[in-house]
Amino acid sequence: MATPAPGPTPAEWAPHQAMWLGFPSHADLWGEHLGPARRETTALALALAGPGAEKVKLLAATPEAVRAARDLVGMGDEIEVLEAEFGDVWLRDTGPIFTGPDRAAGFRFNGWGRKYELAGDETVAGRMALLSGARLDHHDFVLEGGALDQDGAGLAITTRQCLLNPNRNPDWREADAEKALGRTLGIRKIIWLSVGLMKDHTDGHVDNLARFVRPGVVVCPMGFGRNDPNATVYDDAARILGEAADDRGARLRVTRIPSPGRILGEDGRVVPASHMNFIIANKAVIVPSYEPVSARLAVEALEIMFPGRQVFALPSRALLTGGGSFHCISQQQPA
């Protein structure tokens, strides 16, 4: 008898029993940005445990990092510091996708197409499942959580640049991806965007480009200021989403919010800063901030999308030096 397909993975705005965060742990990876990245992660953890009403599981990879994390977050009951080996903090991609309160899906991880292969990243999903008490269903294909955004009703958004990249699953075509994700995550339909942000080493993760905020409603950026390097990418994504429908034929509603604009790294090159990398917590939405004016405008736009949650921004410049932001270092566990 064939195994029935699972139900859809709960949407991120559904209630959580915990929010998992990665704590920057390796000085050889972060260099001079280790301290600032730790402080940004601590501010995020405290915000999640406070106005976000989350039970935070803060994962640190070494005994030194565990001590540092405990010193920074204090001894409150809502933040638990746990030790588990990982390559780096990007648990959205290396950790499991929790498909229910006590069940998780694990996938192969190959360092975003073999760009950054670090010891511990292949095993952290199993360790998180064990620590959470969830059963881990392991699936033998490459997938990162940031490559997908789901609405909780079987609809997902992704980019061809990432999901069909030959550096992940070389033989995949759209039909192969749709079949695999239907079988493992209960996805009934995928909306295919083209490419992600410039200079994004993940090859176009969609959680920097478009996010569901409730069934049938999706947000994506609009260019902000002069010479926004991703303005054309944003417009293309908005066009595709505006023409798309769910599996019942209902058109999506698309809302656009300001991007951070042209954000440069210390070397003067464009970095993949995005307000789309926000976290939806139980009672808050926390937006990464890179430039105050655009962040304020993004918060004001998202407040309309999340009337029952407090929406605010926190700095994420140091985390971005590692290649990601708040959504990238987090993974929600449904209640």
Q: What is the Cβ-side half-sphere exposure of residue 111, based on CA atoms within 13 angstroms?
A: 8
pLDDT given at position 281? 98
pLDDT given at position 111? 97
328 is catalytic: yes
Is residue 45 within a helix (H) or strand (E), and if so which, with residue range? helix 34-49
Interval 32-85: pLDDT, tens: 999 999 999 999 999 999 999 999 999 999 999 999 999 999 878 899 999 999
Enumerate the domain spans of the chain: 16-334
Q: Hey, what are 79's tokens?
A: 């933040």
Q: Which residue has the tokens 């999340």?
A: 306
Spot the catalytic one: 47, 60, 328, 329.
328
Could you tell me where the beta strands, DSSP code E, fall in the chain? 16-22, 56-60, 79-83, 97-100, 103-108, 135-142, 149-150, 155-159, 189-193, 211-214, 217-222, 253-258, 279-280, 284-289, 310-315, 330-334
Q: Is the pLDDT of residue 86 over 50?
A: yes
Q: Hey, what are 237's tokens?
A: 């994504």
Q: Hey, what are 268's tokens?
A: 């003067």
Q: List the single range of 1-10, 239-248, 287-296 with lowest mean pLDDT.
A: 1-10
Interval 145-181: pLDDT, tens: 999 999 999 999 999 999 999 999 999 999 999 999 9
Q: 137 phi and psi, to 5 degrees?
A: -100, 115
Q: Which residue has the tokens 């995550």?
A: 185
287: which strand partners? 313
In this prediction the pTM is 0.96
Q: Which of 237, 310, 326 is nearest to 273 (CA)?
A: 326
CATH of domain 16-334: 3.75.10.10
pLDDT given at position 329? 98
Interval 4-27: pLDDT, tens: 667 899 999 999 999 999 999 999
- Reported confidence tier of residue 3, pLDDT bands at 50, 70, 90: low
